[in-house]
Amino acid sequence: MKLKPEQLARTLKSESFPLYWLAGDEPLLLQEAADSIRSHFRNSGVDERELFNIDKGFKWESFSHATSNLSLFAEQKLFELRLSSSKLDETGKSAIKEFLDEENPDYTLLISSPKLEAGLMNTKWFKGIEPKSIIVQIWPINKDGLSSWLSQRLIQEDINADAEALQLLSEKIEGNLLAAMQEIEKLKLLAHKGAGETINLDANTVMQVIADNSRYSVYNLIDSSLLGDGVRCQKILQNLRDEGLFPLIIVGALSRELRLLLPMIEKREDGQGINAILQANRVWFNRKQAVSNALQRLHSEDIWRLLDKVRKIDQAIKGMSLANPWDELSLLVLEISGQQTASMQKIG
């Protein structure tokens, strides 16, 4: 059974399942969901917990042995599998299926993994284990929802933040919720908050005590450009450059995205509806707004022109021209986002 994260607590109280699978790429939210499950079973009398970190060389026999090693006395136990990848090999799939088939009422399995790919969720194996499982996909907090999330967390800590402070704080910790919680703790310490006291947070306080902990990825850059947010694109690109990211990684990601967009744009130009195109191409719901925006703005000839610029930036990175790849990437993402530039450098 698939659940939203906010439905997990209520379901834990009402019914039990042998398997709980938490999947997502936001460490803080994943950790908090796992903590809520551990806490629930600990309060229910499950004191034993056995952890397995699953990497490429993991021997699944150790897990199978542990879960089939029945004691003379009934002992409730929580087993945890922490997957480095959501792509399980056949041995791993068999071990998890055998665990569920044994139906030991004293054993519960908690799996934590990166986000689940559609390919895995559509397999016969996954559909077979789903009725006996709780599946919770945890998505990162997007830019639009970050201020609301921050406001709720601050209120929980008796901190009132005005709109300007929330905006500034959001910009400084975007993409890094763990850093956000660290900064909230820092605010409490610096304010010398006593019991029952409330902190009033304004923009000046944020400027004084909050470090810039934004952590972006190439995918944030792509989605911002598709959404038409040129200013944010430049901030993300500079952040990636400061982190020492090799620009060819960005070029590869942009090239792939543009090539995926091309057939969708051609379908839109043939008269198909955008919602139907998004559904047919299995665009994840958290990306639908960005892709939809691009489909409405861009034309097929735009994509071919942009791909040609990608090719030239690739050549610049490989030393086949004198152009600065980072400058050209800056102009490219601005053009994808629909921003008009005063001048465009030509790559020879």
- Give percent of the chain with pLDDT exceeding 90: 55
47 and 163 co-located in one domain: no
In a domain, 345, yes or no: no
Mean per-residue pLDDT, 25-35: 92
**Boundary residue ending a domain (121, 138, 155):** 138
In a domain, 344, yes or no: no
> Which pLDDT band holds residue 156 (cuts at 50, 70, 90)?
confident
Domain with 279 in it: what CATH number? 1.20.272.10
Domain with 198 in it: what CATH number? 1.10.8.60
What digits encode the pLDDT tens for the residues 254-311? 999 999 999 999 999 999 999 999 989 888 777 889 999 999 999 999 999 999 999 9
Per-residue pLDDT for 160 more than 90? no
Closest to 262 in 3D by CA, of 317, 227, 308: 308
56 and 154 co-located in one domain: no
> Which pLDDT band holds residue 345 (cuts at 50, 70, 90)?
very low
User: Rounded to the nearest 5 degrees, what angle is found at the Cα of 247, between the Cα atoms of 241 and 119?
Assistant: 110
Identify the pLDDT of residue 142. 81
- Dump the DSSP string for 136-190: EEEPPPPHHHHHHHHHHHHHHTTEEE-HHHHHHHHHHHTT-HHHHHHHHHHHHHH
Per-residue pLDDT for 58 more than 70? yes
Domain with 69 in it: what CATH number? 3.40.50.300
Highest mean pLDDT among 13-17, 96-100, 148-152: 96-100
In a domain, 263, yes or no: yes
Mean pLDDT of the chain: 87
Identify the pLDDT of residue 229. 92
For the question of whether the overall pTM of this predicted structure is more than 0.75, the answer is no
What digits encode the pLDDT tens for the residues 163-181? 888 888 887 777 788 888 8
**Boundary residue ending a domain (88, 120, 138):** 138
In a domain, 341, yes or no: no
Q: Distance between CA 273 and CA 278 in Å, rounded?
A: 9
227 and 281 co-located in one domain: yes
Identify the pLDDT of residue 191. 60
Identify the pLDDT of residue 202. 79
Give the domain range for residue 191.
143-209
Q: Distance between CA 113 and CA 31 in Å, rounded?
A: 11
45 and 134 co-located in one domain: yes
In a domain, 46, yes or no: yes
In a domain, 347, yes or no: no
9 and 127 co-located in one domain: yes
55 and 115 co-located in one domain: yes
How many folded domains does the chain comprise? 3
Q: Compute the CA torsion angle 93, 96, 100, 106 (nearest 10 deg).
A: 180
Per-residue pLDDT for 327 more than 90? yes
281 and 229 co-located in one domain: yes
How far CA 316 is from CA of 87, 159, 313, in Å, comes to 36, 50, 5
C-beta pairs of 61-68 under 8 Å, 24+ apart in sequence: 63/95, 63/99, 64/95, 64/98, 64/99, 67/99, 67/102, 67/104, 67/107, 67/109, 68/98, 68/102
How far CA 222 is from CA of 20, 111, 117, 253, in Å, comes to 32, 30, 19, 8
246 and 204 co-located in one domain: no
In a domain, 346, yes or no: no
6 and 132 co-located in one domain: yes
149 and 224 co-located in one domain: no
> Which pLDDT band holds residue 18 (cuts at 50, 70, 90)?
very high
User: Rounded to the nearest 5 degrees, what angle is found at the Cα of 138, between the Cα atoms of 88 and 283?
Assistant: 80
- Residue 6 makes CB contacts below 8 A (sequence gap 6+) with none
179 and 271 co-located in one domain: no
- The number of beta carbons lying within 10 Å of the beta carbon of residue 15 is 9
Identify the pLDDT of residue 346. 42
* Phi/psi-derived region of residue 229, left when phi > 0, alpha when psi is between -120 and 50, beta in every other case: beta
Per-residue pLDDT for 342 more than 50? no
> Which pLDDT band holds residue 348 (cuts at 50, 70, 90)?
very low
In a domain, 27, yes or no: yes
Identify the pLDDT of residue 87. 87
Greater confidence (7 vs 71) lies with 7
Q: What is the DSSP letter of 321?
A: S
Per-residue pLDDT for 206 more than 80? no
70 and 116 co-located in one domain: yes
**Boundary residue ending a domain (138, 161, 188):** 138
